[in-house]
Amino acid sequence: MALIAVSGQPGCRFEEVARISAHRLGLELVNESRINGLIERDFGADGSVPSKARADLIASILARLATEYHLVYCAAGAAQRAEYKTMFGRATAPPYWFDLILNAESMDSEQMVELIRSSMHALGLKERGFLSPAAEAQIQFQFRLRLARHGIVPPGAVHLPGKTFAHPSEQIFANLLDFYRIAWEYEPRSFPVQWDAGGRVSESFSPDFYLPEFDLYVELTTMKQSLVTRKNRKIRLLRQLYPHLNIQVFYQKDFENLIFKYGLAERPARA
């Protein structure tokens, strides 16, 4: 199987390297935001997963995903040390545990991505197939034992949401972000904005894109006015309930100016 872990200290471009590597090699990128979304989907966002159990839970999720996907797992250095402690019982990892150590001060992102690509092909990681169910069950056993101490049962099935865009404008916007090497995630989270009398979520809002490097959510609104009014109501609720969120809304005229400016479409001729 291909399970490539990319880590580094803040400022060394490891997130960009992980994102480009996943795109070039046809692997699924699993970063901190995506992991958080998977955990919140099954356990909620109320802190019900103790910090001491988090590394075991992430390792369990990655093992489950590895039976269906080839992965690039991206995490900061501190998070990676927690994973090594989980898997190997030590707080730090010696250099010989790594297949590849790159110096971000002497190489740019493209050079590092090319070395990862060459190493992956040389090792034939994809050709080995996914993690077998028997191997995954053996790995899960140790994590389930440790998680049981916290009353946590890992999810029985884990699937990554696909990247099927709901509207052509979203595909165009994603292409623009890719061209400028801006990391993006498509509808990574849904935020409850209304609840019924029993406290159950009755309405949610899922922004179209999240740009992790800017901690910014982007919503594209290229629809008729009646639907725009309904969406604006949800966005107002979102801002009231989650004031810490940064969200930028692109309306139809904003989006058209954007794609014409960068030559993604021709501006219609005036009569």
DSSP 91-125: SS--GGG-S----TTTS-HHHHHHHHHHHHHHHTT
Q: What is the pTM of this model?
A: 0.61
pLDDT band at 242, cuts 50/70/90?
very high
Residue 150 · residue 26 · CB < 8 Å: no
Please check whether residues 19 and 139 belong to one and the same domain. yes
Contact 167, 221 (CB under 8 A): no
Residue 141 placed within a domain: yes
The tens digit of pLDDT for each residue in 123-156 reads 888 888 888 989 888 888 888 888 888 888 887 7
Nearest-CA neighbor of 85 among 51, 131, 37? 51
- 101: CATH: 3.40.50.300
Q: Measure the CA–CA gap between 31 and 35, rounded to whole angstroms.
A: 6
Instruction: Kindly provide the residue ranges of all beta strands, DSSP E only, lying in 131-260, ordered along the sequence.
Output: 185-186, 191-195, 201-205, 209-211, 216-221, 247-251
Do 86 and 135 sit in the same domain of this protein? yes
On whether both 128 and 10 belong to a single domain, the answer is yes
Ranges of beta strands (E only) in the chain are: 3-8, 28-30, 71-76, 185-186, 191-195, 201-205, 209-211, 216-221, 247-251
Number of domains in the chain: 2
Q: Is residue 209 part of a domain?
A: yes
- Is residue 247 in a domain? yes
State the pLDDT confidence band at 217, using cuts at 50, 70 and 90: very high
Backbone angles phi, psi at 209, to 5 degrees: -135, 155
Q: Contact at 8 Å (CB) between 237 and 193?
A: yes
Answer with the one of 95, 117, 148 that is the final residue of a domain.
Answer: 148
Residue-number span of the structural domain to which 92 is assigned: 3-148
Q: Which residues contact 18 (CB under 8 A, 6 or more apart)?
A: 6, 29, 31, 72, 74
* pLDDT tens readout for residues 72-86: 998 876 555 555 555
Same domain flag for 140 and 225: no
